[in-house]
Amino acid sequence: MSGKVVHSRAWNLGEISDLLGGSLLNGVQSDIPILDVVSTGDHQQPSSLFVAYQGDRVDGHDFIGQAFENGSVAAVVTNEEKLGKRAGILVENAQQALSRLAAAFAGDPSKDMLVIGITGTNGKTTVHWLLYHALERLGLPGIRLGSLGISAHGSVERTGKVFVRGSGDIMMTTPAAGEIHGSLRQALDLGLRSCVLETSSHALVQHRVGDVWYDAAIFTNLSPDHLNYHEDMENYFQAKVGLFRQMADMGFVSGSHGGAVINADCPWGKRLAIMVGEMGLPLTTFGSSSDAT
């Protein structure tokens, strides 16, 4: 995760273990204060909690020693053996844990904002740009996060000021969980009440957006892409479905603003529309086909 997880109050290790449904390891004291949550072994402050997860290329468990040398006082792990005798919390899924921690430390800011997610192979960036400016014209200025970086109320910030994306970071379509929730918290504190978030299939599978409370989700289309990661179109499609299933599972209130907005001209969109209806989400479809609503 780039930067630190912005936190709204002080936490201790016992509270974090309870939050994650994890188990404290090696007789660790539950009252150890935690000031920061990190997922890299180098950039951190004292009293940090290191979250070790298995990535696509590297295993965070291999950096536990480095993290403790640089200020971590405990680690969240899925592999107890690699923790050794150090203080830690054992969880089933460390990426989910990182998402939950990022949201909780920031005070779950997405709950108090209008959040619109855009997913699909093509068109995400264009739609997110148009929506961001439309919301501002409608009197709902906010923040946008996506391929174009992070912008709040017309000011693009990538390094150094309010919304930070470290200069050495890879520019991902959807930022890391800590950056998402930290940026939303800072936007909310500035009085900004809306967020437009490009939501990639990678981010959905990797739980980067797992604790974002979406009010609306837009599906643009689906065509062959990222198959080196998803392996086939069905897996790719199911990753996109995850955004709408998350909205349903997190208790979207029917009748409030938002819901699902789906491209009816896309065969995958037609299939998704049926699934969304079964989820009980409000549904709007668009396109040139006669069955678009």
Residue 54 reports pLDDT greater than 80? yes
Asked whether residue 135 is assigned to any structural domain, the reply reads: yes
Same domain, 64 and 46: yes
Same domain, 214 and 231: yes
Neighbours of 271 (CB within 10 A): 14
Average pLDDT score over the chain: 87
Same domain, 132 and 214: yes
CATH of the domain at 126: 3.40.1190.10
Same domain, 100 and 196: no
Query: According to the model, what pLDDT value does residue 195 have?
Result: 96
Query: According to the model, what pLDDT value does residue 171 have?
Result: 54
Asked whether residue 16 is assigned to any structural domain, the reply reads: yes
Q: What is the mean pLDDT of residues 189-201?
A: 94
Same domain, 185 and 54: no
Asked whether residue 203 is assigned to any structural domain, the reply reads: yes
> 76, 105, 134 — which closes off a domain?
105
Same domain, 269 and 209: yes
> 64, 86, 105 — which closes off a domain?
105
Tokens, residue 152: 């709040």
Domain range for 179: 109-286
By C-alpha distance, which of 81, 12, 20 is closest to 49?
A: 12
Distance of alpha carbon 115 from alpha carbon 30, whole angstroms: 35
Residue 41 reports pLDDT greater than 60? yes
Q: Encode burial over 204-243: b for 16+ CB neighbours within 10 A, e otherwise.
A: bbbbbbbbbbbbbbbbbbbeeeeeeebeeeeebbebbbbb
Query: According to the model, what pLDDT value does residue 19 have?
Result: 97
| Range with lowest mean pLDDT among 2-6, 161-165, 255-259 | 161-165
Region for residue 43 given its phi and psi (left: phi exceeds 0; alpha: psi -120 to 50; beta: otherwise): beta
Residue 82 reports pLDDT greater than 80? yes
Same domain, 185 and 276: yes
Top pLDDT among 172 and 222 is at: 222
Same domain, 121 and 260: yes
Taking 3-state DSSP, the helix, strand and coil percentages for the chain, each rounded to the nearest 5, stand at 35, 20, 45
Same domain, 49 and 118: no
Asked whether residue 151 is assigned to any structural domain, the reply reads: yes
**pLDDT, tens digit (0-9, with 9 covering 90-100), for 95-105:** 999 999 999 99
Same domain, 261 and 124: yes
**pLDDT, tens digit (0-9, with 9 covering 90-100), for 218-264:** 999 998 876 677 679 999 999 999 999 999 998 765 445 579 999 99
Asked whether residue 6 is assigned to any structural domain, the reply reads: no
Distance of alpha carbon 222 from alpha carbon 237, whole angstroms: 7
Same domain, 100 and 143: no
Query: According to the model, what pLDDT value does residue 292 have?
Result: 81
Query: According to the model, what pLDDT value does residue 255 have?
Result: 47
Asked whether residue 293 is assigned to any structural domain, the reply reads: no
Asked whether residue 3 is assigned to any structural domain, the reply reads: no
> 105, 126, 157 — which closes off a domain?
105
Residue 49 β-bridge partners: 37, 74
pTM (2 decimals)? 0.87
Same domain, 113 and 220: yes
Query: According to the model, what pLDDT value does residue 254 have?
Result: 47
Tally of domains within the chain: 2
Q: What is the mean pLDDT of residues 20-33?
A: 94
Residue 76 reports pLDDT greater than 50? yes
CATH of the domain at 86: 3.40.1390.10
